[in-house]
Every structure is written in C-alpha cells, then in structure tokens.
Amino acid sequence: MSKPILERATGFATYRHRHQFRRDGVTPYVEHPKAVMAILRDEFAVRDPEVLAAGLLHDTIEDTATDYDAIAEEFGSRVASLVAALTKDKRLPESRRDREYFAQLSRAPLAAKICKVADTLHNLRDSDTALRPKARRKGLKLLRIFKGVPALAGPLGLLREEMRR
C-alpha cells in the first residue's frame, strides 16, 4: 500500500527544496510550504488532501527543477494543475511576470486561490521589517483580485487582519 498523499508530498517537497533556505539563511525552505499547508488545514479548515498537497508543493515548479509532469506522475493531474496555477512563468520578462501571474490567479480554481492566500499570509507572518512592505503589496493585490469570492471571505479576513499589524 502506498503512503498517504500528504506524507508523500512532504517528502517530495523536502527533497526538492533540500538545498534552499528562507531569507534568514538558516531556516530550511521547506518550512515555508509546511507552514502554508498548516494554515490551510488549521486556520482555513481545508480537509481535501489534494489541496493540502498543493499547498506543500506550491513552490516546487517555480523554485526547483521540478516540472508539471513530475508532480502529475506522483500526485495526479489535479494537484499538478493547482501547483501550476500557483507558479509564475519565469520565461516572461520581469516587467510582465507579476501582471500575468495575478491575472492567472484571478482565473484559477478556488483551491489554488485559497493556497495563494495561505502562502501570502505565511510570508507576511514570516517577513522582517524590510520585507513586510513587499508582502503587504502582494496581499493588497490578492484582496483586490479575490474580492467578491464568498468562499474566500474568512481567509481574506485573516489576511486583512495580518496586514494591519
């Protein structure tokens, strides 16, 4: 019998991010995806194991040598599609990259949107004084593009509350 999806996703993310660290240069990067998954599960009450797995894997395409196919093969097309929706296209010039990314998020499935709110919430909580303004700007963009999505009212409320701190 194979391991449960969250156990496999944790191992996959840990391996793929194994040489990366958070901005402090000390904390293993994988602690960020683990925190995103915990926010989804514990604060946003997400119970869908595939959405939780996407939270764990949300940076693997963007920040490692992992591609969509590797995720689809290991976790299925739904998880891979959610991770792809959470991935900036680094082939685009930087001047277009964020604009295209936020347009992509606005069209993304609800599951991807809730993962992005959890990601942004953790980045805000984990940011130092110098990086907090950048994290707040991203939060403001999410509040604008996800405005009016009833299922995101609670998560966006937590994001808004964190941004006021």
List pLDDT tens digits, range 95-139: 899 999 999 999 999 999 999 999 999 999 998 888 889 899 999
13-57 pLDDT per residue, tens: 999 999 999 988 999 999 999 999 999 999 999 999 999 999 999
Q: How far is CA 6 from CA 14, 56, 128, 162, in A?
A: 12, 8, 30, 27
CB atoms within 10 A of CB 99: 10
Number of domains, the chain: 1
Is the Cβ–Cβ distance between 119 and 85 less than 8 Å? no
Q: Which two tokens stand for residue 132?
A: 């907090």
In one-letter notation, the amino acid at residue 5 is: I
Query: Which tens digit of pLDDT belongs to each residue from 64-98?
Result: 999 999 999 999 999 999 999 999 999 999 889 99
CATH number of the domain bearing residue 138 = 1.10.3210.10
Write out the residue range of the structural domain in which residue 130 sits.
Answer: 5-164
For residue 62, indicate whether it is catalytic: yes
Q: How confident is the model at residue 160 (pLDDT cuts 50, 70, 90)?
A: very high
Catalytic position from the list 24, 48, 59, 63: 63
Out of 62, 74, 98, 126, the active site residue is 62
pLDDT at 1: 52
pTM of the model as a whole: 0.96
Report which residue type is found at 2. Answer: S
63 is catalytic: yes
3-state class of 28 per DSSP? Answer: strand
